[in-house]
Every structure is written in structure tokens, then in C-alpha cells.
Structure 1
Amino acid sequence: MSMSLSFGAELRRLREERGLSLDGLARRLRYSKGYLSKVERGERAASIDLARRCDAALGAEGSLSDLVRGASGGEHAETGEEGGVSGRRELMAAGAFSLLALSAAGRPAGVRGQVGAAAPVEFGPTVLLREEYDRARRLGQCVDPAVLLPLLVEQGRTTARIAASTTGRTRSELLLLASRFAEFTGWMAQEAGDTRAALTHTAEAVDLAEEAGDQHLASYALVRRALVTFYDGDSAQTVALAAAAAENRKLPHRIRGLAAQREAQGHALAGDHLRCMRSLDQAHDFLASADRDGASGPLIGTSNLPDPAAMVTGWCLYDLGRPQEASEVLDRECARIPAHALRTRTRYGLRRALAYAAAGEVDQSCAVAGELVGIAGEVRSATVAADVRRLDRELGRFRSHRAVRELQPALLEVLADRH
């Protein structure tokens, strides 16, 4: 029996022995019933913080904590990423953007050392960890995702541990932030080419969001799964998953818009122009409403596209076999991507180069790609590499063209480096 399963079985035994329902224990511990149910079934490993709370609630005198501590060596060593625990420690020791450094340097200048200031600036774990999250998102735009992953995992777990030590609104805010860390970790895992880890981290994000009282992220997880099937070229599954995500009409506009975008991409893969455009119209309307809502908190999905629906329209037009139209849209939208968003610029810029190549505008395609292949080699992305391969195949029709011959070594270098 695994340690997670033995802990869950003992938790259930003690709970039932005390005559306490799962719902009653959940209310007492301020955890969701669904989350505790997964712990009892051995589907989720319990943290030491949860074990301690269960000990107190059930009068178990530390027996549950002992079970978790007995498994701590194996639990902490299992990162699910390359490099393991030693690689993670090296990254944390290097101080890429550690909490300690942020505590010392991230406090607003007007607050540090000013006790009783007339106009205090909000300062606390939520503010600091939100800055940490924003830094991680920016870093994810310019570094190899495989290198960043161990640090993201640690930051997310740290945020969840801090949340467990707080109560009330702060606890909910930190759990929600931990869920965003897990969701972003899932995206970086996909960028690193590890689809299984991507889905695992996304599922963790859903659990954390549910703990925070946010029931909507489960629908967004379907959108993320649809992205996996989209890159696998499975149009039917992409449409089905995205449509399932959008079934809940009470979802925030942002998630409904992202679901409609993904559904449009699935229809484009299937060659269904009418349904694709209809879904894109819905995406545009929902995302525009989301912008008007002005929701606070970490943004779900990309934060580097001024008009995501417009950019995805260009992408879909390429998949629909309309490269000329696609290049016109992508020209306009790529010019609006912030300069610092290297990964985003590379992804959509290469799609722009693809559109030009498919439209037979070889010189323009090579010029666009030539500006991006160096960045592609630095940020390293499985999804970008897929488009580099497509571009190499697309330009293969023009091997005798001088611009293609000059570009090909750089394309091959990116692919060889990724391999």
C-alpha cells in the first residue's frame, strides 16, 4: 500500500470512528470536501500541514503527521521534472527570484522602515507572492522552460504552504495564487514537451482553485486539455473538450472566451470555416466583456496579446488554408506584441512566416523567420519547434531559392538543439 493510500485509509478510519462526516471534517478544516475525498482515496498526497490539522480535529495525537513525515523523503524527491531535487536546490540557491531576495528588495521604498507612515502601502504575503508570480511569468518568456520548471514547482508549493498557515481572505487569495502557479507550471511543462506533466500540474491547479472557492478553473482545465489535442492534430477532441468547457453559462467571460477560441481552432483543423468564424465571433465578444469586467487577480491565459481573438483568427485562417488572409491578420497583430514577450513573439511570428511561405511569398517568409530563429533557440519550446518543423517542410518546396538556402542551417540548428 502506498503512503498516500495508507494515510487516506487511516484518515477515513479515524474520521468515521469519531462519527464525523467528510463534509463536517471539510468544514472544520476549511478544505473542500472534494479535495479531502481524494486524499482519503489516496489520489492526492497529504501535506504535513493538512495532516497536522487532521490530527487536531480528530484527536489523533500526531499519528497522521507521522505517516506524512515517514513519506517525506520520497515525496519531496519526486518532482515529476528533469533534474530532480538536486537540480531544484541548485536553482533555488542561485536565487533566480527567491522569496528572501524579494522580501529584502521588493518592498516599496516608501514603506521600508517607516513605522506609522501616514499613507501605508499594502504589504504582505499576497502582495509579495503575486509579484513572484508576475516575475515567473515574465521569466517564462525568455528562458528554457525545462530550466524554469523546478523553480515554478517549488514556488507553487511554497505559496500553498503559506496559505495553509493563514485564514480567511488571505488564505483564499493565496490558494488561488498557488493554483495559478500550478496552471502556469503546466503550460511550461507543455512547452518543455512533457504533456503528461502538463496535465498533472493543471489538475493540481483545479484542486487548489476549488480549495480557494473557485469552481471555474475545472472548465479552464478542459481548455488546456484541448490545447494538447489541438497540437496532436485531433480536431474532434479539441472541439469536444472546448465545448464541454463552455457548457457552464455561469463561467467568467474570460474562460468562456478562451474556450470559444479553442473550439474555433478545432473547427479550423477540421476545415469548417463557418463554425470556426462563429466561434471566433463568440470569443471576441466574451473577451471584450472580460476586459470591461476589469477582474482583479492573476490573469488566466496569455497576458501578452492585446486582442487574443484577433491573433487566433490569423492562426485559424492558416489552418483553414487561407494563408494570404492569415498573413494580413498576423502582420497586424504581431506588431502589437510587447518587445519583452520573446516566447509569444516567436510563436506567432513563426506562424506568420508559415502563412507567408504557404502563400508563396518566400522572401518575406524567410525574412520574418530569420529574425526569430535565434530567439527560438534560446527560449526552447516544444510547440514552437513544431512550427519550425512545419516551416522547414513548407519551405522545402523552394529549396533552390537563395533565401531558403540561407535560412535552412538556422532552422536545422533550432531543431537539432531542441532534439
Structure 2
Amino acid sequence: MPHRSRSTLLRPAAPPRRSAAIRLRSLVARLHRSGSVSANAAVTSAARNPLGCSPTTTSATTTSCATMQTTSGIVERIGTPPRLGRPSASQGRPPPCAATGVAVLRHSGQQETAHRPGGPARRQVPMTQHEAFGIELRRRRNAAGLSLQDLAKELNYSKGHLSKIETGAKAPTPQLARQADAVLSAGGELSRLAPAAPVGHPRQAVPAPRHETPPLPRARRSELEAATEDPAVARGLRLQFDTIRDLGKRMSPRLVQPMLHGSLVSLRDMLAAAGEAGAKRQVALMTARFVEYAGWMAQEAGRREEAVALTLESAALAELAGDPGLAAYALVRRAELAMYAGAAQQTIALAERALADPHATARVRGLAEHRLAQGYAQLGEEARCRAALERAAALLAEAEAPEPALPEETLARATVLVPPAAGRADEAASGLVVAPARGGPVVGSSTVADLDAVVTGWCLYDLGRPAEAARLLERGLAGTSPEARRARALYGVRLALAHEAAGELDRMHEVALESLDTARALGSETVRSQLRNLAWMVQRRHSHRPSRDLHVEITAALQDGVVD
């Protein structure tokens, strides 16, 4: 036996540590002696609530108590309220425990539990959007008899990534939702549950640079009137329009817009000075085409509001020129702007308005069907989308059919700027013979040979069928001239997105680098938006070295303004 000193042997033993229940009873007794609570209330509270918990759940934001302890999701805070018992309405919070002043907040997963004397009452916390998506995805996968591994293989995602999405730990991308819609035949239900795609941070509208050049001189009224009556001026304006439009295929919109501005100043002055009805219609029609193209350049420069305003102006000018068909095309342009903004319902509504216009030409109606199909694709409505694509193909084929030739003597004296709906008497009196607008500027894209292929491929990607989309986009891109840089960059990035979703990563990398190189000199906001989508989608391919490098290169190009 070890030796102990006499003082150690005579020292009284330390009292044992009191249990939580003993400490609680001691606290109740002290409160009772101080008169704060009655003995019966204290005993009853201690018996019903031996841990000293408040019978009412309180919020951390409505009490001024200091945090005492956090254990297993229970946050306990002790404080001394001004008075015990039920608080007044002005206090705005439930009372703490009558015995201890302890307020307890219990967290239980997605539910916040409030313990009440009459029994537990549960208040449901709203489920997040991606949690609802995960539940529905798992339900449909089980109904289809697919394992998690099977579905992951179909969607070209890893099993672990898909598991996190099903459990709500990770938010799905819109593209994954579209692919799952197609694989599980969900009819767009999963797409509607998926969170919206981040639109990134588009560049702020860049104000027009200030130049040191003096303001443009304005012509005299007599000079303007003479210009409106000269057929050679009309042909020269048409040549100028074609030149500017050709430059717009390969140059930044910020370089093209000043050219358009100068032409529009002259055209608007000529329109104001035009006296004869025939001359006024000619100038109004040409002005409408310039304004419509200026709206497209504004869209490419990232100024959507300006693009919408110019498109509306072009429609009004087309009405003034007696060309309601061109006014219907303005609706198609507005539908396109809505489509790029992700407003599917607005896209459909505007396209249907264009289709309902009795003056719309076959080409305008074909382009409207394309916008309608893209709107339905964004909503995941595959049957309606495919039906609209079929109608578009038929209408565009009808528009490209050859028309009967006009007599050579008529064509020799004709101007191509006045539409067929314009009157004839005024032109005959002035010595002008007006030909139909068959030789006028083509509405819509004039650079893509197989427009049906690229639009159908675009739709199939949105419908979650990336492999089919890639085949059609490859075909459409192969028929597009290398000079059409804007179209090649736009549909090239879209093709890269389709290859990424289909798991063809090497081809995706090749197409994306080529498109990025083409986009550098364009400054196209439309192309930038697709590059942002590609950068976002390629992040998950971290095990593929070229994809990691591509993500770094696209991100750097977007941040440094290389593709501005």
C-alpha cells in the first residue's frame, strides 16, 4: 500500500460530481426560493422536461441569449428574461423554459420541430428546387427499371455525380435535365424542375466612343429631294447595304455600327424630304432594312434593349413602305431575341403572331416556324418542336423555288427596292419601273447553306438528344462558307456543346478551339453566351486533360475580353 501522509488521510474526500438531474433540481429549488416560480410549476416543468428544454421553439434571431452549448443539432441558449411567464405581444417571441430560462432550437433535416404541451407539431420547411428534381429523377429511373449505373451511362455522367443529384446534394444542369427527359421519356417534366441555367455576366453595354471628328454635315432639302428621285442612288444604297452586311459577317459590331450610323443619318434625312409617294416608299423600305440590320448589330454588341427598339422601328418603316411582309419579319427577329434570352413562352407567342400575319412571305413564315420550334425545344415539347421543324423545311423550300423571269427590258430599268405591294402609278409618272422585291436583300441568315440542319441540331440539343444534334450540326457547319465567320463561330460552339453532352470529348475539344479562334475577332455577344455555356458544362470533365485546358482557355478569353 503506498505511503500517504497524515494530512492526506485526514482530508475529506471531494464530493462526487453532481449529475445533470441533480443540478437541474438544485436550480429549480433556487428559483423557487427566490419566488420566481411556484413549487408545483417548477416540479411539473422538471418532470415533463427533465433536460430543462423550453416547451416552445424559439429562433436564434429573436432572443438575446448567449450561446451555451451545441450538441447533436440542439442549440441551447441561456438568458434571463425580464420576467418569467408568458411574454407580451410586444416581445414578439415565445417564453423560455419556466424553470431554467433555457431556449432550445431543434433542427431535424428539412423539418423544424416545435414541441408543445399537447404533442409534437411539425412545420415543413420548403424543399429546394434541386432536391425536388432529385426525387423526381429517382422516381422516374426506378419506374423505367434502370439502375443508377445504367442511367449514368446513358447520360454520360459519372455514377457518383448522378447520385449527388438524386440526393439533392448537387444541383442539376439544364442540359442534364433535358437529356434525362429524353432518356426517361419525361415529356419535359424534369426540365421544368431543373434550376435555370446561369446566364453568366454579360458585358455591360459599351457606350459609343467619343471621336474628335466634327459632326456629320446635313444636306440641304433640295439635295435630299434630288437624291430620292434618282434610281442610281437607290441602287448605290443597296450596294452599300450589301457591303456593310458582308463586313458584319467577319468584323466586330463595334466597327460596323459607325458605318450604319452614317448611312442611317442620310436615309432618315432623305425620307423626311421625299415628296412623291413612290420615292418615299423606296427610301422607307431601304431605311427599314438598314435599321433592322442595325438592330442585329446592337444584339451582337450586347445591347438587347437597343436591338428591340430598332427592330420595332424597322417594322414601322416597313409598314410605311407598303411591305407588311417585312413588318412580319420584325416579329421573327423579336422572337429570336426572346429565344436567346431564354424566354421560351415569349418566343412562341411572337413566332405565332408572325405566322398569323397574312402578309408574311413563305420565307418569313419558314423562319417563324424555326423560332417556334426553338421555343418548344426550350420547354422540352418534342412533338410540337418536330412538327414546327417539318413545316419550316416545307416553307423554306417553297421560298427558294424559282420564279418566272421578268422581261429583260423591265429588269434593265427596274429598282429592286420597292416591294410588290407598292403602287405603280406614281412610279410610271416619274419614269421608274418597279420590279418585285425578288432581287432585294434576303431576310434572315444568308450565310448558312443548310439552315434546317443547324436549327434542327440546335433544337435536338435543347431536347436532350446531343448525339443526333451533333450529326446535324456537323452537316450544317460543313456547308457553311469559311468567310461566314460569325455563323461558323456560333454553330461551332453549339456543336462543341453537343459533343460534350454526348461524351465525344476529343472532338469537342477540337471544334471548341477552332470556334474560339474564329470568335476572337468578332466581338459577338451571341457567341460569348454560348462560350459561357461551354465553359460551365466542361467543368465536370476534370479527368480529361484537354477539357481542363479548354476550360482555362475559354475562361481567360472571356475575362480578358479576347472575344470582345
Fold-level match, TM-score > 0.5? yes
Residue 128 of structure 1 aligns with an amino acid whose one-letter code is G
CA contact (8 A) 1:256 1:286 kept: yes
CA contact (8 A) 2:291 2:311 kept: yes
Aligned residue among 550, 558, 562 for 1:407? 550
What is the CA distance between 1:90 and its match in structure 2?
Answer: 8.4
CA contact (8 A) 1:362 1:395 kept: no
1:364 maps to 2:489: no
- Give the number of the structure whose residues are more often helix, by fraction: 1
Q: In structure 1, what is the Cα distance between the partners aligned to 2:206 and 2:334? A: 19
1:383 maps to 2:491: no
Residue 263 of structure 2 aligns with an amino acid whose one-letter code is Q
Q: In structure 1, what is the Cα distance between the partners aligned to 2:363 and 2:237? A: 23
Aligned residue among 55, 71, 82 for 2:207? 82
Aligned residue among 520, 531, 537 for 1:394? 537
What is the CA distance between 1:163 and its match in structure 2?
Answer: 4.4
Aligned residue among 364, 380, 383 for 1:255? 364
CA contact (8 A) 2:493 2:511 kept: yes
- Give the number of the structure whose residues are more often strand, by fraction: 2
What residue is the counterpart of 1:145 in the other structure? 253
What is the CA distance between 1:139 and its match in structure 2?
Answer: 1.0
Q: In structure 2, what is the Cα distance between the partners aligned to 1:257 and 1:160? A: 31
What is the CA distance between 1:147 and its match in structure 2?
Answer: 3.1
What residue is the counterpart of 2:491 in the other structure? 348
CA contact (8 A) 2:538 2:548 kept: no
Compare 400-409 and 160-169 and name the one that shifted more: 160-169
What residue is the counterpart of 1:101 in the other structure? none
1:233 maps to 2:376: no
In structure 2, the CA distance between the partners of 1:88 and 1:347, relative to structure 1 (3 Å rule), is: farther
What is the CA distance between 1:399 and its match in structure 2?
Answer: 2.1
SS in 2 for 1:372: helix
Pairwise CA RMSD:
2.4
Aligned residue among 116, 125, 133 for 2:241? 133
Q: Which residues of 2 match residues 241-390 of structure 1 at below 5 A?
A: 241-292=350-401, 295-390=438-533
CA contact (8 A) 2:348 2:372 kept: yes
What residue is the counterpart of 2:287 in the other structure? 178
What is the CA distance between 1:380 and its match in structure 2?
Answer: 1.2
What is the CA distance between 1:348 and its match in structure 2?
Answer: 0.6
Q: Which residues of 2 match residues 4-43 of structure 1 at below 5 A?
A: none
SS in 2 for 1:83: coil
What residue is the counterpart of 1:156 in the other structure? 264
CA contact (8 A) 1:192 1:381 kept: yes
CA contact (8 A) 2:539 2:551 kept: no
CA contact (8 A) 1:189 1:195 kept: yes
Q: In structure 1, what is the Cα distance between the partners aligned to 2:524 and 2:254? A: 9
What is the CA distance between 1:285 and its match in structure 2?
Answer: 1.1
SS in 2 for 1:124: helix
Deviations along 1:175-208, whole A, 9 cap, x unmatched?
A: 2111111001101101111111001111111122
Residue 255 of structure 2 aligns with an amino acid whose one-letter code is V
In structure 2, the CA distance between the partners of 1:250 and 1:219, relative to structure 1 (3 Å rule), is: closer
What residue is the counterpart of 1:204 in the other structure? 313
SS in 2 for 1:143: coil
CA contact (8 A) 2:453 2:475 kept: no
Residue 537 of structure 2 aligns with an amino acid whose one-letter code is E
Q: In structure 2, what is the Cα distance between the partners aligned to 1:90 and 1:374? A: 37
In structure 2, the CA distance between the partners of 1:402 and 1:199, relative to structure 1 (3 Å rule), is: same
Q: In structure 2, what is the Cα distance between the partners aligned to 1:335 and 1:92? A: 44
Q: In structure 2, what is the Cα distance between the partners aligned to 1:81 and 1:158? A: 25
The higher radius of gyration belongs to 2
Deviations along 1:338-380, whole A, 9 cap, x unmatched?
A: 1111001100111011100110101100100111112212101
What is the CA distance between 1:129 and its match in structure 2?
Answer: 0.9
**TM-score if structure 2 supplies the norm length?**
0.52
In structure 2, the CA distance between the partners of 1:292 and 1:412, relative to structure 1 (3 Å rule), is: same
Q: Which runs of 5+ in 1 are unaligned?
A: 1-79, 94-121
Q: In structure 1, what is the Cα distance between the partners aligned to 2:241 and 2:212? A: 17
Residue 453 of structure 2 aligns with an amino acid whose one-letter code is A
Q: In structure 1, what is the Cα distance between the partners aligned to 2:496 and 2:540? A: 14
What is the CA distance between 1:288 and its match in structure 2?
Answer: 1.1
SS in 2 for 1:306: coil
Q: In structure 2, what is the Cα distance between the partners aligned to 1:191 and 1:391? A: 18
Deviations along 1:28-70, whole A, 9 cap, x unmatched?
A: xxxxxxxxxxxxxxxxxxxxxxxxxxxxxxxxxxxxxxxxxxx
What is the CA distance between 1:81 and its match in structure 2?
Answer: 7.5
In structure 2, the CA distance between the partners of 1:296 and 1:364, relative to structure 1 (3 Å rule), is: same
In structure 2, the CA distance between the partners of 1:247 and 1:89, relative to structure 1 (3 Å rule), is: farther
Q: In structure 2, what is the Cα distance between the partners aligned to 1:197 and 1:162? A: 23
What is the CA distance between 1:287 and its match in structure 2?
Answer: 1.0
In structure 2, the CA distance between the partners of 1:317 and 1:92, relative to structure 1 (3 Å rule), is: farther
Compare 285-294 and 194-203 and name the one that shifted more: 285-294
Residue 379 of structure 1 aligns with an amino acid whose one-letter code is L
Q: State the identity %.
A: 38
Residue 137 of structure 1 aligns with an amino acid whose one-letter code is R
Q: Which runs of 5+ in 2 are unaligned?
A: 1-204, 218-229, 404-437
In structure 2, the CA distance between the partners of 1:216 and 1:359, relative to structure 1 (3 Å rule), is: same
CA contact (8 A) 2:328 2:359 kept: no
**TM-score if structure 1 supplies the norm length?**
0.70
